[in-house]
Amino acid sequence: MAFVNDGFEVSITLGGIDDSTQTRTYQLTSADYAEAVTDTTTILGLLAAVSDGAVKGYSITARSVQDAYNRPAVATAERGDAAIVSGEIAGNPLKSWSFSVPYPKVDIFLATAGRNYNVVDIADAALIAYKNIWGVGGQAEISDGEVAGNIVSGKRA
């Protein structure tokens, strides 16, 4: 199994006079990233000819798919559950943020049955490592350069 390229798409966000926004996503026929940039420029020009909205920004994305996808074999990946986790913003414990874990493993909860079945174990090492994607030196930011601090709580949703 491997992830293989499945093409490119561009999402363009336009703004209106009332500060409303609308986003449109286009599945591109581009063979590579350079062509995706060229195709995006073409789409922006054609869109400007039919829309009064002002382009606020766009993003070009390379799509990848699993070439030999197999469904998960565990029942916890069946219902579409998620763990909703809340935490502090680093450097400002008065601000908070939240993230979700899709199809959470039973290991990140306090119990596999009973009273704590729906309570996230905020000290779980794998959960903390996942939260650190948004932490200091992580791979992503929450918004405006903010990063994740301590996990405060979490529950199954």
CA dist 101 and 83 (Å) reads 5
Backbone φ and ψ for 99, nearest 5 degrees, come out as: -140, 165
Per-residue pLDDT band for 76 (boundaries 50, 70, 90) equals low
Considering the entire predicted model, what is its pTM? 0.71
Which pair of tokens denotes residue 86?
């809340």
Domain positions in the chain are 3-66, 75-156
Answer with the residue of higher pLDDT: 7 or 144. 7
Asked if residues 117 and 111 have their Cβ atoms less than 8 Å apart, the reply is yes
CA angle 108, 109, 110 (to 5 degrees): 125
Burial class (CB in 10 A: 0-12, 13-18, 19+), 120: buried
Residue 53 banded pLDDT, cuts 50, 70, 90: very high
**Could you tell me what percent of the chain has a pLDDT over 90?**
83
Q: In the structure, how many helices (H) and strands (E) does the chain have?
A: 2, 6
Amino acid at 90: A
